[in-house]
Chain A
């Protein structure tokens, strides 16, 4: 993996190794879909190699197209809806290139956090940082678009 996994930041080596041991490997071929918008979120994923494209549907030219919203590279996490109710994915994830990930099942993670609340606390804080970052970035994107609408209305 090219960089330290963001959701393990702040854990000592032993705790990080224990958490990584909970995962199972997932391999995707180019074009494979990892999960679809609206489907049940039961796994948190860590990208080990390759690339994951996160898309949302948009009506383009009278037909529905999946438009790229974000990308995840090695070391990055996706699927935090697994830890946050209502546990439904809000994006579709697919691999544009051959990709390897680690999948952490929600039940396995929660059971581990019950045994090691100190580790659970650090990981929950890391996940909160990811969610907060996504919220602030999308809030800024939304406000930039609002500004254009205001400019257009007063042009």
Chain B
């Protein structure tokens, strides 16, 4: 009887120690590795600038902000003109008329 109680006691202690060690290991891992599914944006289409993947040869580091602002201004003017054209004559072709914007090409 004593032997059985000793074995049961030892099992409880060993289980407890294993649980503590496992919890410690999981806590030490970086969050992104412990739950990789917490990155829903990884493969999703981007809506805003900070999500948009950088394009080779046209990144903020290579294009001065002033040049980028001029490109943005031109882009907005072209898009506005295309949208106004759609407003005057709404067709699918007018809506998706190609643009000459340097930000797209």
Contact = CB atoms under 8 A, between A and B. Distances in A.
Interface string A112-148: 0000000000000000000001001111110110011
A152 B53 CA distance: 10
A86 B99 CA distance: 35
Contacts of B84: 137
Contact of A58 (B49, B82, B87, B95): B49
A67 B95 CA distance: 23
Interface in B73-90: 73, 76-77, 79-80, 82-84, 86-87
Nearest to A141: B83
A149 B46 contact: yes
A137 B65 contact: no
A68 B99 CA distance: 18
A147 B96 contact: yes
A144 B79 CA distance: 8
Contacts of A61: 60, 65, 68
Contacts of B46: 149
Given A58-B72, A137-B84, 11 more contacts: A60-B60, A60-B65, A63-B65, A67-B72, A67-B73, A68-B72, A137-B83, A140-B82, A140-B87, A141-B80, A144-B95
26 contacts: A60-B60, A60-B68, A60-B72, A61-B65, A61-B68, A65-B65, A67-B69, A67-B72, A68-B72, A68-B77, A69-B76, A70-B80, A136-B86, A137-B83, A137-B84, A139-B83, A140-B82, A140-B86, A141-B80, A141-B83, A144-B82, A144-B95, A147-B96, A148-B104, A149-B46, A152-B45
